Structure formats: structure tokens, C-alpha cells
């Protein structure tokens, strides 16, 4: 029974990554068709977390006389780009504090919004990683079961 715990845990973690990656990829695709409104950048800075640089953009916008605040730049952030100080600086230059900007929002949930519609390849890396974590333990389990059957036949 213990032989099944580690593969089961990997499988569950893989399902989590699959879910997150597919959800982000789906939202990214949907956001290309979302309406947009004019918003305003409230915060625009580069934050450093250990060796990773992240652009921090906070903005406000109104939809149907309701005000919203958000900090989502796009769906899925490239890990390689985040390490780059120049990428983060370019994003903050594109969205400087006080700037009037286009904010793309989900018409069914206006609190969900992005500044750059569409997704990026990081979402698909997450899906691939999740698939690997799901299928790797399954292959190992099937190999183990098959090997046990062969041993039983030889006895």
C-alpha cells in the first residue's frame, strides 16, 4: 500500500498544475474578446523577490457605475521574463503611475480584468508539467503491476 502513496501524491499535484494551467490558458484566450474601458494606473513599480523581478501594476476602472481595482497584467507570467529586470522595467514604463489605460474585463465577472489580453506560453508549460506529474506515476504503477504479474506467473 505504501508503494502507492508517493505516486498518488504526484498525481494529485499534477492534477493541480493541469487545472491551473488550463484555467489560465482558457482565461487568456477568452480575454482577447473582452470589452475594454479606460482605467488609471495607481501603482507602477518593480519589486525584487530574491533573484526574481516582478512588475507590480495596480489599476482602477469602472464598469456599469461600479469601481474595481486589480493588479493582473496578463494571464500567465513568463518565468524567464520575470527574472529580467529589463522586462519588468519595460512593463512599468508601458503602464506608468497616473496613466490612462485600456482595461480588458470579463463581462460576466467585471472584477476579473487584465491590461494585456491573451495568454502566453508559460500557461502551456504549466499544463505540460502537470501532465508529466500525472502520467509519470501512472506509468510507474502500471510497470510495477505488470512486473508483479510476471513474477506471479514465474512462481
Give how many domains the chain has, as a whole number: 1
Q: Is residue 60 part of a domain?
A: yes
Q: Looking at the predicted structure, is the pLDDT value of residue 80 above 50? A: no
Q: What phi and psi, each to the nearest 5 degrees, are found at residue 90?
A: -65, -40
Confidence of residue 22 (pLDDT cuts 50, 70, 90): confident
Q: Is residue 134 part of a domain?
A: yes
Q: Is residue 2 part of a domain?
A: no
Q: Using an 8 Å Cβ cutoff, are 26 and 19 in contact?
A: no
In this prediction, residues 1-14 reach a mean pLDDT of 74
Confidence of residue 11 (pLDDT cuts 50, 70, 90): confident
Confidence of residue 135 (pLDDT cuts 50, 70, 90): confident
Q: Is residue 150 part of a domain?
A: no
Q: Which residues pair with 69 in a beta bridge?
A: 60
43-70 pLDDT tens trace = 999 988 887 888 899 999 999 999 999 9
If one counts every other C-beta atom within 10 angstroms of the C-beta of residue 60, the result is 13
Nearest-angstrom CA–CA distance, 3 and 146: 14
Confidence of residue 17 (pLDDT cuts 50, 70, 90): confident
If one counts every other C-beta atom within 10 angstroms of the C-beta of residue 28, the result is 20
DSSP 74: S
Q: Which domain holds residue 37?
A: 11-140
The whole-angstrom distance between residue 53's C-alpha and the CA centroid of its chain comes to 17
Q: What pTM, to 2 d.p., does this model score?
A: 0.67
Cβ neighbours for 63, distance < 8 A, ≥ 6 positions apart: 37, 105, 110
Q: Is residue 147 part of a domain?
A: no
Q: Is residue 152 part of a domain?
A: no
Q: Is residue 100 part of a domain?
A: yes
Q: Using an 8 Å Cβ cutoff, are 58 and 43 in contact?
A: yes
The SS3 of residue 1 is coil
Amino acid at each position: 500500500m505504501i508503494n502507492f502513496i508517493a505516486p498518488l501524491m504526484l498525481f494529485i499535484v499534477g492534477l493541480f498544475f493541469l487545472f491551473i494551467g488550463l484555467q489560465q490558458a482558457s482565461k487568456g484566450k477568452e480575454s482577447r474578446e473582452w470589452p475594454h474601458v479606460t482605467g488609471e494606473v495607481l501603482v507602477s513599480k518593480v519589486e525584487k523577490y530574491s533573484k526574481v523581478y516582478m512588475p507590480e501594476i495596480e489599476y482602477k476602472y469602472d464598469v456599469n457605475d461600479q469601481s474595481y481595482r486589480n493588479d493582473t497584467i496578463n494571464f500567465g507570467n513568463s518565468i524567464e521574463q520575470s527574472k529580467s529586470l529589463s522586462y519588468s522595467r519595460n512593463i512599468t514604463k508601458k503602464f506608468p503611475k497616473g496613466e490612462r489605460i485600456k482595461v480588458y474585463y470579463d463581462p460576466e465577472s467585471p472584477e476579473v480584468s487584465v491590461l494585456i489580453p491573451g495568454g502566453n506560453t508559460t500557461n502551456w508549460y504549466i499544463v505540460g508539467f502537470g501532465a508529466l506529474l500525472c502520467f509519470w506515476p501512472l506509468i510507474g504503477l502500471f510497470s510495477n503491476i505488470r512486473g508483479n504479474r510476471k513474477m506471479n506467473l514465474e512462481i
